[in-house]
């Protein structure tokens, strides 16, 4: 079974688990190096992908005027598409 543990690597290359382990690790492992917390760049969400933009759209008159399909039409189309996959 694969297990993941969070560790720190000291300047001499020794690995130290951040939490106590209930087992003694042995065997092989892959190591993924993460950026240091003090060196991690600020994460900025692009303006066009922000929650504020989504909320703005939901409150807009354009969204209120959007065409809406009837539930039975949507279910019929879903069924058609599912059945179309079986014909190939």
Q: What is the pLDDT of residues 7-34, one digit of tens each?
A: 888 889 888 888 888 888 888 888 888 8
Average of pLDDT values for 59-86?
87
Does 80 score more than 80 pLDDT?
yes
Q: Is residue 62 in a domain?
A: yes
Position 58 confidence tier, pLDDT thresholds 50, 70, 90: confident
Residue 53 inside a domain? The answer is yes
In a domain, 72, yes or no: yes
> Would 38 be classed as within a structural domain?
no
- Number of compact structural domains in the chain: 1
Residue 76 falls inside a structural domain: yes
Residue 56 Cα to chain centre, angstroms: 23
3 state DSSP class of 65: coil
- pLDDT mean over 36-54: 68
- The domain of 54 spans 7-32+45-86
Token pair for residue 30? 């892959």
């Amino acid at each position: 079974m694969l297990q993941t543990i969070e560790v720190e690597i000291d300047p001499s290359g020794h690995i130290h688990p951040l939490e106590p382990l209930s087992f003694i690790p042995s065997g092989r492992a892959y190591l993924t190096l993460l950026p240091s917390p003090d060196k991690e760049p600020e994460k900025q969400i692009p303006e066009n992908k922000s929650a504020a933009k989504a909320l703005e759209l939901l409150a807009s008159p354009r969204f209120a005027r959007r065409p809406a399909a009837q539930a039975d039409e949507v279910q019929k189309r879903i069924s058609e598409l599912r059945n179309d996959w079986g014909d190939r």
